[in-house]
Amino acid sequence: MNSDTAELAIVDTASELAAPLEPLATNRQAPFAAPRWLARLRADPARMSALRDSWRALWSSRLLVWTAGVGTVLAFGFGPVRNVFDPPGVTRGFGRLGDLLAAPAARWDSAWYLVIAHFGYRPDLGSFTSPRTAFFPLYPLGLRTITSFGLPPVLAGALLSLLALALALYGIHRLTTLELGGAGRSALGRRRDGDVARLAVMVTAFAPMAFYFSAVYAESLYLALSVGLFWCARQGRWAAVGALGALAGATRSAGIVLLLPALILYLYGPREDLAPDIRASTLARVRRLAPRYRPRKDILWLALMPAGLGLYMAYLGASGGDPLMPFHAQDVWGRHFAGPYLGVWDGVKAGFEGARQLLSFQRHHAYLPVAHGSLFVEAGHDLLLLAFLLAAVPAVVGVLRLLPLAYGVYVIAALALPLSYPVTAQPLMSLPRFLVVLFPLSIWLGAWLAARPRAQRPALAVSGLLMTGFLAQFATWHWVA
């Protein structure tokens, strides 16, 4: 085509010269057309609903976190123990504005993750660095990777946590819709499935300890991995289940318990990829515990799940340390094995003695013989931790009644660590932080609130206020959870 015939081809759409222009026009529009994955996303109402609800929960909750954290430091300062518990200065030194913005993100255990990301574990130095090994490697490895692009470490940690939280909230929405969209509808009465999923996401984002999800902590990363594992197991993607389980095991010690729900979902379901090999009625007549799905070759993928923990232990051994250092390191914080779930009894006793301490107004006589620091502060902590434990009991029962068995087993198994290995000075230490990542509890609470519309706003408001109060303590270097 020359310049003389080009104009004619454009004007006369019926001519032969116009035909070759159609694919050319398509090609010109291709760079401006939506990618296929985006088109599929927009065409799926469930995915779009999950995206909208999770995004709303993410930005609104994190806005509250940063506003409350920065406002607290502006009003009350950084707190009296800042220099004691942050001697290397790894969470400060970014200028006045930078230190303020880091207040809701970098406190307490954040210093450990930042030190590990910069210096490594150095197990060859023995007792000088052994406490570092209590913090598993995947999160600091992610920190180190992001900082290699030139970002400050605290900013890198906050971005990593926020990205993981976004994925976790989206996954919780999708899982809630999957589990409570069919048989779960009867348990929810007339409430819409979308209400339950939306509330489950909001409950997670505004939980009293949810400020840890955007801090330089591994909580949001572990939450995203565990939610992804359940989703992939429900879809029958067992290679992904094995990989996610290995990553979760390299994120925190409790990650290894994800093997139990993965096995239950494989053998007993429910599963979206296959129909049961044995029908439920036949199963009841034959034997109650017989698996509904026969083991196939893809079950071998689950053998990958302990690999994260195994590789971490192998690394410590090859670097001149003890492969069991992550477990011995808990001695630094006074954790000891009291027996399966016997830490519950220790926590109840500590909470009772804490109540006696507060009600007696005694500042010299200690009802808690192992208390350190202010007797009233320690008593208040023990009483608060007991309140979290008592609140978790009906939630665990609710999960067992509402959701498939694998969810309840996961919650009970995950609580084995804090409830079987209490801390001597404070038996239920960190229990609220262990609870906040157990997403089946949030799904149950979302379903409970969906059936009680009048309780929704008050419950979320109270939870948000509690999160603000705990964050104010966290930002000013007061111990929380």
Lowest mean pLDDT among 15-29, 95-109, 249-263, 413-427: 15-29
Q: For residue 270, is the peptide bond before it cis, meaning its omega torsion is within 30 degrees of 0?
A: yes
Percent of the chain as helix, strand, coil, to the nearest 5 = 70, 0, 30
pLDDT at 175 over 50: yes
Q: Which residue has the tokens 């007696």?
A: 360
Residues 214, 289, single domain; the answer is yes
Query: How many CB atoms within 10 Å of residue 113?
Result: 24
pLDDT at 17: 39
Residues 19, 95, single domain; the answer is no
Compute the distance between CA of residue 420 and CA of residue 251 in angstroms, rounded to an integer. 20
Model confidence band, residue 263 (pLDDT cutoffs 50, 70, 90): very high
pLDDT tens digits, one per residue of 363-419: 666 667 665 667 778 888 899 999 999 999 999 999 999 999 999 999 999 999 999
pLDDT at 102 over 70: yes
pLDDT at 398: 97
The answer to whether residue 368 sits within a structural domain is no
Report whether 100 contacts 73 (CB < 8 A).
yes
The answer to whether residue 393 sits within a structural domain is no
pTM (2 d.p.):
0.88
Compute the distance between CA of residue 220 and CA of residue 437 in angstroms, rounded to an integer. 8
The most confident of 74-78, 240-244, 275-279, 281-285, by mean pLDDT: 240-244
Q: Which residue segment(s) compose the domain that 305 sits in?
A: 46-333+443-475
Residues 143, 75, single domain; the answer is yes
Model confidence band, residue 238 (pLDDT cutoffs 50, 70, 90): very high
**Strand, coil or helix: 223:** helix
Lowest mean pLDDT among 103-107, 142-146, 233-237: 103-107
Q: Mean pLDDT score of the chain, rounded to an integer?
A: 86
The DSSP letter of residue 436 is: H
Compute the distance between CA of residue 465 and CA of residue 206 in angstroms, rounded to an integer. 9
Compute the distance between CA of residue 30 and CA of residue 34 in angstroms, rounded to an integer. 8
pLDDT tens digits, one per residue of 282-339: 555 455 678 889 999 999 999 999 999 999 999 999 998 889 888 888 888 888 888 9
pLDDT tens digits, one per residue of 9-56: 434 444 443 444 444 444 444 555 567 777 777 777 888 899 999 999
pLDDT at 77 over 60: yes
Residues 82, 27, single domain; the answer is no
pLDDT at 275 over 70: yes
Total domain count for the chain?
A: 2
pLDDT at 87: 65
Residue 407: which of 219, 210, 200 has the closest Cα?
200
Query: 335 forms bridges with which residues in the sheet?
Result: 423
Q: Which residue has the tokens 């939506």?
A: 34
Compute the distance between CA of residue 338 and CA of residue 347 in angstroms, rounded to an integer. 12
Compute the distance between CA of residue 427 and CA of residue 479 in angstroms, rounded to an integer. 15
Residues 72, 119, single domain; the answer is yes
The answer to whether residue 434 sits within a structural domain is no
Residues 23, 118, single domain; the answer is no
Q: In the predicted model, what is the mean pLDDT of residues 116-130?
A: 88
pLDDT at 72 over 80: yes
pLDDT at 359 over 90: no
The answer to whether residue 360 sits within a structural domain is no
pLDDT at 68: 96
Residues 205, 229, single domain; the answer is yes
pLDDT at 140: 96
Residues 12, 55, single domain; the answer is no
Residues 7, 99, single domain; the answer is no
Residues 222, 152, single domain; the answer is yes
Percent of the chain whose predicted confidence (pLDDT) is above 70: 85
Cα torsion 123, 129, 134, 139 to 10°: value is -80
Q: In the predicted model, what is the mean pLDDT of residues 155-175?
A: 97
The answer to whether residue 114 sits within a structural domain is yes
Residues 270, 222, single domain; the answer is yes
One-letter amino acid of 478 = H
The answer to whether residue 338 sits within a structural domain is no
The answer to whether residue 458 sits within a structural domain is yes
The answer to whether residue 242 sits within a structural domain is yes
Residues 144, 177, single domain; the answer is yes
